[in-house]
Structure 1
Amino acid sequence: MAERILLAGCGDLGLRVAARLLAQGHETWALRRTPPPQGGPGLRWLGADLAQPHTLGGLPAGITRVVYLPAPDARDKAAYRALFVDGLRHLLEALDGRALRQVLLVSSSAVYGEHDGDWVDEDTPPAPAGFNGALLLEAEQWLAAQAVPSTVLRLAGLYGPGRLQLVERLRGGALRVPREVPHWANRIHVDDAAAAVAHLLRLPVPGPLYLGVDDTPLPLDELYDFLAQLVDAPPPPEGPAPAGVGSKRLSNARLRASGWMPQWPDARDGYAALLDT
């Protein structure tokens, strides 16, 4: 059955989700502060600011599912609160709740803290190390307390077309990496993330929480050395672990058990394909 789906904060990931939803025959709306002059075929654009509730008065009636996946303009506490905590509340207050059947919040593995390389799954208690994870967790908890059925997808680090800043920093010699004690990295290709969102919207009874990540956590030095070799850059020298990003191995077992499978189960293969084009 065709749904009326709203993608709130529709950037690169949202557009990839939208392409899948439109292919499935759903009526798909995309909300952004400044919609593009020419959107994709079939995608219905809305101009509104999630942080400004007075701009949300013209939302379409009868929306059955919402995907909340905005990206803040600035990496600071005020921007995150305005968008993820206040913006989510503003949007749900503006929508007709009688038709709404599901809200899917795209969150982040930043809600987890330091785990010294141990495995982490949906049952691991969150302990965010930074304000971004803390505010995303606050948004998750607020949404879970609402009457509308909700699902949270906590994504690992995204990579894919247009997301190769890591490679450019390696080429420029701007990276350091811990080598004596492994620091575990977790990744998911942006197309696999989009497929996970579309998949969770199709499930008859989705669970409340999933981790979106590929099959292969990697020691950061192993990933960086592999990428450096791909682009003929020198391996990065010894240095501290990334600030505010705990070492952990994320499990996708629950998402896989629900029927999702990544096209790129190992980020090394995903990066190699990107850099070969």
Structure 2
Amino acid sequence: MHVLIAGCGWLGQAVAAALLARGDRVTGVRRDPARAAALAPLGVAPLAADLTDPAALERLPGDVDAVVACQSARADGEGPYRDAYVRSNETLLALARRRPLRAFVYTGSTGVFGQRDGEDVDETTPPDPRSPGAEVLVQAERLVLGAAPGVPARLVRLSGLYGPGRAGILERVRGGALALGPGDGAWMNFCHRDDAVAFVLAALDRGRDGGVYHGSDARPARRREVVTWVAAALGIPPARREEAPAGPDRRILSERSRRELGLTLSYPSFAEGVKMLLPR
């Protein structure tokens, strides 16, 4: 296949590497020309384009067989989110309507679920956005899924991503941003980059048109478990805080997605993935 990857950054480059390894052809889109040019040594055909500009449509290759939309926002907030997840997808969907595609995979976020009561959330749970940014994420989902059946759209909601080059969980525990104390029973949900790639490729190859999938590991963990485990692994005492941090508290379930897509995770829990990132 010729696959267009929009937002060919940290995750997109890992998806590209997996596609290239199996013999597919990849065009990678990035806003910044220098970052786009850096894709060429990886074997990816680089394309510098701002997908928020409708004129970018005419610069996208017309012979693509599939699209992976994994662009990210330049900053937090409603405006940057709308650019990255709504306006950019409008351009990509316009491309998808010009020619029959095998698949259009959009990597959304489990951030559409703002529940704060420890609720189990699966692929059938209605979104519950609790911030302007999350509202935009829901709009983007509706935009993409609403393009079916004319566009073979599939949605992969990813949980907190980590992996090589992105070990923020270690720094957050080391710096005390993740701590024990009030609210440490809240659920945390993760997905290692390698497993995120596997979810995206499975949705690309075997997903249902209009399908919604959760790219999340098999064992969500409570904050106290994460803090205690990481602190012990780093050889430091866990930090403590007297105030409960704001944020959601929900357990993201992915069993249905893994079963439908036929996936076995490389890192079923955060501990199995994070230990590979520890200083040696």
1:92–1:199 Cα change, 3 Å? same
Structure 1 counterpart of 2:238, which letter? P
Residue in 2 aligned with 1:117? 118
Residue in 1 aligned with 2:30? 32
- Which shows bigger deviation, 231-240 or 158-167? 231-240
Shift in Å, 1:241: 4.2
Question: Which stretches of structure 1, 4 residues or longer, exceed 3 Å deviation after superposition?
Answer: 173-181, 204-207, 238-242
Structure 2 counterpart of 1:71, which letter? S
Contiguous gaps of at least 5 residues in structure 2: none
**CA–CA separation in structure 2 for the residues paired with 1:11 and 1:225:** 31
2:258 to 256, 259, 263: 256
Residue in 1 aligned with 2:54? 53
- Which shows bigger deviation, 165-174 or 81-90? 165-174
- SS of corresponding position for 2:140: helix
Report sequence identity in percent.
Answer: 36
**CA–CA separation in structure 1 for the residues paired with 2:14 and 2:242:** 36
1:20–1:206 Cα change, 3 Å? farther
Residue in 1 aligned with 2:106? 105
2:268 to 251, 255, 265: 265
Residue in 2 aligned with 1:76? 77
Structure 2 counterpart of 1:33, which letter? R
- SS of corresponding position for 2:37: coil
- SS of corresponding position for 1:104: strand
1:70–1:241 Cα change, 3 Å? farther
Residue in 1 aligned with 2:229? 226
Structure 1 counterpart of 2:168, which letter? Q
- Which shows bigger deviation, 61-70 or 96-105? 96-105
Residue in 2 aligned with 1:87? 88
Which structure 2 residues correspond to residues 154-233 of structure 1 after superposition, within 5 A?
154-179=157-182, 182-203=185-206, 205=208, 208-233=211-236
Structure 1 counterpart of 2:270, which letter? A
Q: C-alpha deviations, 1:165-201, integer Å up to 9, x for none? A: 2312322334434446610101010111011101111
1:181–1:42 Cα change, 3 Å? closer
Which structure 2 residues correspond to residues 120-131 of structure 1 after superposition, within 5 A?
120-131=121-132
**CA–CA separation in structure 2 for the residues paired with 1:10 and 1:276:** 27
Q: C-alpha deviations, 1:199-251, integer Å up to 9, x for none? A: 111116456100111111111011011111111222120344443x3111111
Q: Which has the higher helix share?
A: 2
- SS of corresponding position for 1:31: strand
Q: Is this contact kept in 2: 1:8–1:32, CA < 8 A?
A: yes
Q: Is this contact kept in 1: 2:179–2:238, CA < 8 A?
A: no
**CA–CA separation in structure 2 for the residues paired with 1:31 and 1:181:** 40
Q: Is this contact kept in 2: 1:200–1:206, CA < 8 A?
A: no
TM-score (norm 1): 0.92
Residue in 2 aligned with 1:138? 139
**CA–CA separation in structure 1 for the residues paired with 2:157 and 2:223:** 20
**CA–CA separation in structure 2 for the residues paired with 1:134 and 1:220:** 25
Structure 2 counterpart of 1:27, which letter? R
Shift in Å, 1:31: 0.4
Q: Is this contact kept in 1: 2:123–2:254, CA < 8 A?
A: no
1:69–1:204 Cα change, 3 Å? closer
Contiguous gaps of at least 5 residues in structure 1: none
1:171–1:16 Cα change, 3 Å? same
Structure 1 counterpart of 2:277, which letter? L
- Which shows bigger deviation, 90-99 or 147-156? 90-99
The CA RMSD over aligned residues, in Å, is 1.9
Q: How many matched pairs?
A: 274
